[in-house]
Structure 1
Amino acid sequence: MSRIVEATQRVPASLAGARLDQAAAELFSDYSRERLKAWINAGELTVDG
């Protein structure tokens, strides 16, 4: 079964310039790095701004 996850985070200054996967791992620690990487590769985890 799949589920849709919607979450928004503001990136703190301490993560400015970090790669998306690194920042996501810090901000969304409930999810594994592999899951986050899969979402990034699928275009499902994105940055706005």
Structure 2
Amino acid sequence: MSKKPLASIIVLTDGYTPFPPQALAQNIPALWLLSSKCVHPPRGKVARIKL
């Protein structure tokens, strides 16, 4: 595994789980692929998907 920092994170979720604290996210850009229209992540970009 490389020791380089992550360039970005893509998360596929329904959104009904606790979001990680900002300190843990380390300002890494995130793209949230959410199946729920009711959930709004505290940071990052959001794309909605239909299942």
Asked if TM exceeds 0.5, the reply is: no
- Higher Rg: 2
Scaled by the length of structure 2, the TM-score of the pair is 0.29
Scaled by the length of structure 1, the TM-score of the pair is 0.29
Higher strand share: 2
